[in-house]
Structure 1
Amino acid sequence: MRTTLTLEPDVAEKLKREADLHQKSFKETVNTALKRGLGITPPKRKKPFRVKPRAMGLVAGVDALHLNRLADDLEVEAWKDKQPR
């Protein structure tokens, strides 16, 4: 169906950026946005974010818990030094 639609400038700009980003036509981008807004098509599922474990490179025998406590103590001392006396 062919129709005329008056868009607010900010909406038109957002649609143009989406069309360019996904390399789709403006018409297709408008239709997709309307369908999503009306609940006609479900949004695409994004790949779940996963944190990849990394080795910390600590020397054997170093307790990471004590390092965290040391960092906390240093942070508190720095905060105290900044406070007016």
Structure 2
Amino acid sequence: MRTTVTIDPDVEQILRQAMQQTGQGFKTVLNEAVRKGLAGTVVEKDEAPFVVRAKDMGLAPGIDLNRINQSIDELEVEGYLEVTRQLVERRDQAGR
């Protein structure tokens, strides 16, 4: 494929250094750099893409999933208050 790209000055310097060190041409050095840089980032055609399989959470009608964290917070507060109530009762019973 033939295309035009704009290369940043620092990248150009690296490419030119690689050309001098390897004795290879610009095209070869650039293609190798792109291959190495993109290796492992492109999904191979043989790999099936990851698919999320959604499942019904079995929530009762009327539960707003956007406010689920608020419900969790409320349950934590209720639990904290219950534990605190029990501790106060024990303290009061021990003080008698």
Q: Shorter-chain TM-score category?
A: 0.3 to 0.5
Q: TM-score scaled by structure 1?
A: 0.45
Largest Rg, 1 or 2:
2
Q: TM-score scaled by structure 2?
A: 0.40
More helix by percentage: 2
